[in-house]
Amino acid sequence: MTEDKIDLIGLSLEEISETLINKGLIQSKEKFRSKQLWHWLYFRGETDFDKMTTVSKDLRKKLKDHFVIQRPKIKSHQISKDRTQKWLLELNDGNLIETVFIPEENRGTLCVSSQVGCTLNCKFCFTGTQKLVRNLTSSEIISQLLLAKDNLSDWPNGKDRKISNIVFMGMGEPLYNYENVKNAAEIMGDKEGIQLSTKRITLSTSGIVPEIIKWGNEVDSRLAISLHATNDELRNDIVPINKKFPLKDLIKACREYPRSKNSKRITFEYVMLKGVNDTAQDARKLVKLISGIPAKINLIPFNPWPNSPYECSSKEEIKKFSDIIKNAGYASPVRKTRGQDIMAACGQLKSSSIKIRKSELRANG
């Protein structure tokens, strides 16, 4: 039974110390014991208290009585022909989320979800067609990384790690789950544990303006903005949160973003939609809009999903668009589409697909 036991994953080191002291498991002068535990949890990835050999037998037993180290259940695991991997994970309450690993030559990126579903209904995004169910806890966010590391044999943390980068770009709007995403990001970057460089942790937002500056003041990470349009009329349609936080305010927040500098340029994500936002004029407007901001622009070929309302721009249009941006002095890589055959590509995540299929089966059968 795990109900009345506390999940250690997702607590900060400080919170672990406090909890151990409050439960009388250690004394306040023994905080080094929580550091030992932290090392097992986040440097070695150990899930079995009995294997924590630097912790005394007596404390191990007490830890087992009071705590659990949880991982979500793997509902399905798919590997794309390009080696992208997608896990469909079942949480304790039965909700499902997806996590994607994208291996590249010099790095491995894990795309992490922050909510079950999403409220924002971005028109190009499959996840947006799924209703928001709830925010993920810090434990559920960090556990996606821990589970992926287990599966990829990526423990203990060393130089040649398989997961080198994290993007909060999976299901959900991370800034609408601010505190839990912040806690998870801090644990990911902790120097005694997972030790990911903060330059390799990217928060991607569709533009929750008031939280952008707050995040920049409080958390060391990179920032990516899902931009996708250069005027309010179009952005209201593609990224409806723009009606609440229009482009003028979003770009102002980017200009004022406290961590914006050349070593931590802001990434603007721009999905290429045929006949919608992909003209040379759009490219020139984009350059003007972001002028003066240390930035790079990621062009994302649109990844279709069942009944999606858009098509992807042609290769020629994307090249033309990219050249205009490059000529204006910005890096403008075209993101390679990865994991399309397993619906793991950008904007294709939707955990309810399995539930839908089951109910469809029931309805038909």
Q: Which phi and psi (to 5°) does residue 259 adopt?
A: -100, 10
# binding residues, ligand SF4 (CB under 6 A): 12
Closer Cβ to ligand SF4, 113 or 230, answer by number: 113
Of 13, 26, 97, 120, the one binding ligand SF4 (CB under 6 A) is: 120
Of 11, 16, 91, 118, the one binding ligand SF4 (CB under 6 A) is: 118
Residue list 133-172, contact with ligand SF4 (CB under 6 A): 171-172
Decide if 219 contacts 178 (C-beta within 8 A). Answer: no
Of 13, 110, 125, 297, the one binding ligand SF4 (CB under 6 A) is: 125
Query: Which of 45-53, 122-130, 140-148, 154-162 is the region at the interface with ligand SF4 (rule: CB under 6 A)?
Result: 122-130
207 lines the binding site for ligand SF4 (CB under 6 A): no
Per-position DSSP letters for 21-65, written without gaps between them = HHTTSS-GGGHHHHHHHHIIIIII----GGG-TTS-HHHHHHHHH
Query: Residue 31 and residue 196: Cα distance in Å, rounded?
Result: 24
267 lines the binding site for ligand SF4 (CB under 6 A): no
99 lines the binding site for ligand SF4 (CB under 6 A): no
127 lines the binding site for ligand SF4 (CB under 6 A): yes
Tell me, yes or no, if 3 is annotated catalytic. no
Sign of the Cα torsion 196, 199, 205, 210 reads positive
Closer Cβ to ligand SF4, 9 or 166, answer by number: 166
Instruction: For the CB of residue 228, give the shortest distance to ligand SF4 in the complex, in Å.
Output: 9
Decide if 180 contacts 217 (C-beta within 8 A). Answer: no
The 3-class secondary structure across 217-260, one letter per residue, is HHCCCEEEEECCCCCHHHHHHHCHHHHCCCHHHHHHHHHHCCCC
Tell me, yes or no, if 346 is annotated catalytic. yes
Decide if 88 contacts 98 (C-beta within 8 A). Answer: yes
Closer Cβ to ligand SF4, 70 or 84, answer by number: 84
Helices (H), 126-177: 138-151
Instruction: For the CB of residue 178, give the shortest distance to ligand SF4 in the complex, in Å.
Output: 14
Q: Looking up tokens 């990219």, which residue turns up?
A: 322
Chain residues binding ligand SF4 by CB under 6 A are 118, 120-122, 125, 127-128, 171-173, 206, 226
Active-site positions read 98, 346
